[in-house]
Structure 1
Amino acid sequence: MIAAVAMSGCANSPSIGVLGAYFPDWLFCIIAGVVLTVVVYLILQRVQRGQWLKPAAVVCPTLVTLFSLAVWLILFQH
């Protein structure tokens, strides 16, 4: 009984079929987060506000995480 309850969370895997292969939802969210971070970086560089992204080693991974989680919440609500 305890094993059945513990394994019930594995019954429905969040995956998307792309050309016959199934990919996890989080993979698409991370890709979208990286793309959105690059877009924000390019826009801020274009309007001369690139200094807002300092230190880049902290800001860029934080933006990727923020955008990835936002995409997850917007597109993959169950």
Structure 2
Amino acid sequence: MNNHFHCSPVSSLGIKDSRVLRRPRFWATFLPLAGLCGCRRAPSLGIYGSYFPGWLICLVLGIALTVAIHLVLRRLGYEARLNPLGLVYIALSITLTCLLWLVLFY
């Protein structure tokens, strides 16, 4: 009684035999499709005649919001409870940057 359920990325594609992955025809079919994943125009904003990438603007705003939150937490006295401070503020700035990217550009 050998009832083992095996789920792998290969089986989720519907490929039962791993020898299929070694065939050139398989790669000739699916490799060009991988290049189509990023075929969307990059979001950029025109500021005084120069175009800035959207991720750069989100990064600056995320860091500015992190500084503002740092000042609020310090004033309220909650900063002493956050350990380690370096990791907390780095994680907060990355989170805010990604959230701004999702809100503004996605």
TM-score range, shorter chain: 0.7 to 0.9
TM-superposed CA distance for 1:11, in Å, is 5.1
In the alignment, does 2:86 pair up with 1:53?
A: no
Aligned residues: 75
- Matched residue, 1:71: 100
Percent identity, aligned pairs only? 36
Q: Which deviations, in whole Å up to 9, do the C-alpha atoms of 1:34-77 show, x marking residues without a partner?
A: 01111111001111111133212211110000000111111112
Higher RCO by CA contacts (8 Å cutoff, separation 6 or greater): 1
Aligned mates of 1:39, 1:10 — CA distance in 2: 36
- Matched residue, 2:53: 24
Runs of 4+ in 1 over 6 A off after TM superposition: none
- Is the 1:33–1:65 contact (alpha carbons within 8 Å) kept by the matching residues of 2? yes
TM-score by structure 1 length? 0.82
TM-score by structure 2 length? 0.62
Unaligned runs of 5+ in 1: none
Q: 2:63 aligns with which of 19, 28, 34?
A: 34
Unaligned runs of 5+ in 2: 1-31
Q: CA RMSD in A?
A: 1.9
Higher Cα radius of gyration: 2
Q: What does 1:2-13 align with in structure 2 at a 5 Å threshold? A: 2=32, 6=35, 9-10=38-39, 12-13=41-42
